[in-house]
Amino acid sequence: MTETTSTTGRTTRTGTRSRRPRRLATPLLLTTGLCLGALTVAGPARAGQTQERGHGKGKATAAVVDSTRHGGRTLALTFDDGPDPTDTPRLLRVLREHRVKAVFCLWGDHVERHPELVRAIVRGGHTLCNHSLHHDDMGTWTEERIRADLERAGAEIHRAAPGVPIPYFRAPYGSWGKTPEVAASLGMQPLGWRLAVGDWEPPGTDELVRRVVEGVTPGAVVLLHDGGGDRSQTVEAVDRIIPRLRAEGWRFDRPARHG
Ligand SMILES: [Zn+2]
């Protein structure tokens, strides 16, 4: 599955934050499938909109979060499209060995097939994110259709791990459409990213390490994948990236809780 390189559009127009230039998709990334740059440009974010019911705990807004909780020389690792019976357990082992907590954006169909892996993710102390039921492009969907999908995906996660918080939602392909408003109304904060490294290609472990180490910026949410294909290179890269970045003074953080 492919994702675009940036989803920052919604978080930069509140007036209280400086506008960041959109990261341009490289030709390399554009070869990976849908070119979704236009789809990620959505309407004005409804800053301040809050809802308190649903799958997450506390208040969620319709702003797409793409920064860490504490800022500075920190980054947050997020993994999409799992759980996967091969790569998710391996990734969980790597994260445990390095004592890093991450966010897992779960694909409903995969949750249905591997509920025990959802429980393993929760046992590992990681945070869950709803990544839709079938990984459809929801960019043109009505709010009603989006709500039905997100609720079913959430129910699938809760069937695997009853009562577990699902504080985030991430739109497949970064094709947000009306999903941020719906996710917020269900108590889930939309979760974007600042760095994607094309691990779906996959380009080789060395290259993945290089793209993360050279591409990371302070406070970045980083998009990686543990499902949707062979992600063994991603797992191997994470095992090498963590000690290397730590040696350079980076800390591993969670994404900001609210937009
Ligand atoms: Zn995905």
2 CA to centre of ligand 1 in angstroms: 7
Which residue is catalytic, options 55, 66, 80, 110?
A: 80
* Residue extents of the structural domains in the chain: 52-252
d(CA 57, CA 197) in angstroms, rounded, equals: 30
Q: Where are the alpha helices (DSSP H) in the chain?
A: 27-30, 87-98, 108-113, 115-123, 143-160, 179-185, 205-215, 232-247
Q: Is 149 among the residues known to form the active site?
A: no
Task: Please report where in the chains the tokens 């990976």 appear, as a residue.
Answer: 32
Rounded to two decimals, the pTM is 0.81
pLDDT tens digits for range 44-98: 333 333 333 444 455 899 999 999 999 999 999 999 999 999 999 999 999 999 9
Token couple for 67:
């920064």
pLDDT: is 208 or 4 the higher one? 208
132 CA to centre of ligand 1 in angstroms: 9
207 CA to centre of ligand 1 in angstroms: 21
- What per-residue confidence (pLDDT) applies to 9? 35
247 CA to centre of ligand 1 in angstroms: 30
Q: 207: helix, coil or strand?
A: helix
User: Which helix (H) or strand (E) element contains residue 251?
Assistant: strand 251-252
pLDDT tens digits for range 163-193: 999 999 999 999 999 999 999 999 999 999 9
- CB count within 10 Å of CB 231 equals 27
pLDDT tens digits for range 122-136: 999 999 999 999 999
Q: Is 134 among the residues known to form the active site?
A: no
d(CA 163, CA 68) in angstroms, rounded, equals: 25
78 CA to centre of ligand 1 in angstroms: 11
Longest dimension (CA), the chain: 47
* Average predicted confidence (pLDDT) for the chain: 84
Q: Where are the alpha helices (DSSP H) in 33-139?
A: 87-98, 108-113, 115-123
Left if phi > 0, otherwise alpha if psi is -120 to 50, otherwise beta: which for 15?
left
Which residue is catalytic, options 225, 226, 239, 253?
A: 225
Residues, CB-to-ion distance under 5 Å, ligand 1: 1, 80-81, 172
CATH class, 52-252 region: alpha beta
3 CA to centre of ligand 1 in angstroms: 7
